[in-house]
Amino acid sequence: MATYAVGDLQGCLTPLKQLLDMVEFDPREDTLWLTGDLINRGPESLETLRFLYQSKDHIISVLGNHDLHLLAIDAGYRTPSQSDTINPILTAPDKAELLYWIRHRPFIHHDCQLNYTMVHAGIPPQWSLEKAQEKARIVEQVLQSDRHSVFFENMYGDSPSGWEEGLSITEGWRVITNYFTRMRFCTEKGQLEFETKTGIEYTPKGYLPWFAHKKRKTRNNNIIFGHWAALEGKTNSDRLFALDTGYVWGKAMTMIRLEDREVFSIRAQAN
């Protein structure tokens, strides 16, 4: 019995299957964790989603920004961009059950026995794990309810840039969602910077990577995350596991076995 975590798939099913074959994944005993962004930009978005849905009993996935983007388009609050590869999902006969499954994924997954926490982008430095779980539940409850259209209507935006007292309900939803699915750089108090998507060598003035703040309240937690391909898996910490290593950008897909932290990787083939 083993637990494997893999970075953002983004509609790249072939390398995922290669990794599963590499580790001799056994769905009767093993479990697969996914950091979100299951679909979009890659060539097999519908196929990826169907494969995961068929295997859902041994898969744990958190929500990523591309997953929410798909749901928002389907709800009528966003239009597809030219780089999207999700139209086959939106026109599929099994769309309803696939999107229902995505909409019911959590923002955070924590396993007390394994002592790992998984989130798509990160946890803001001013929140403990317990606080982050509490905030995640607030948004999960509305997203999984019959009020989810109200959530998508108010989801997009860079403002407010961080959590503060006195936010409206919908502003609170937006900040929580931005923390868990979009965050890279922020201040110690959790004010977000959205423009910079490079590696940490180009950290904007006044900000740090969310995980680099010395007083970060989750610094003693083992955290698995994706979203930030420019990190190339490097965090300079044995408690942080950045698993989005940019397969869809021509680099690699990375998987880790949580029990012994052995890393497995598939390089993208050059065109």
In this structure, what token pair is assigned to residue 269? 């083939």
Mean pLDDT, residues 116-136 taken together? 98
Catalytic residue among 66, 110, 213, 227: 66
Query: What pTM, to 2 d.p., does this model score?
Result: 0.97
In this structure, what token pair is assigned to residue 86? 């999700």
Task: Count how many domains the chain has.
Answer: 1
Pairing of strands 108-111, 116-119: antiparallel
Q: What is the CATH number of the domain that holds 198?
A: 3.60.21.10
Q: Percentage of the chain surpassing pLDDT 70?
A: 99
Cβ atoms 88, 45 nearer than 8 A = yes
**In the prediction, which pLDDT does 269 show?**
82
Active-site residue, 66 included: yes
**In the prediction, which pLDDT does 270 show?**
60
Could you tell me the sign of the dihedral formed by the alpha carbons of 237, 67, 149, 79, in that order? positive
Domain that holds residue 15: 3-267
Q: What's the order of all strands across the beta sheet hosting 31-34? A: 59-61, 31-34, 3-6, 252-257, 262-267
pLDDT by residue (tens digit) across 138-163?
999 999 999 999 999 999 999 999 99
The string of DSSP codes covering 102-129 is: HHT--SEEEETTTTEEEESS---TT--H
pLDDT by residue (tens digit) across 155-198?
999 999 999 999 999 999 999 999 999 999 999 999 999 999 99
User: Average per-residue pLDDT in the chain?
Assistant: 97
- Could you give the CA distance from residue 248 to residue 251 in angstroms, rounded to a whole number? 7
DSSP H/E element including 66: helix 65-75
pLDDT by residue (tens digit) across 57-80?
999 999 999 999 999 999 999 999
Which pLDDT band holds residue 95 (cuts at 50, 70, 90)?
Answer: very high
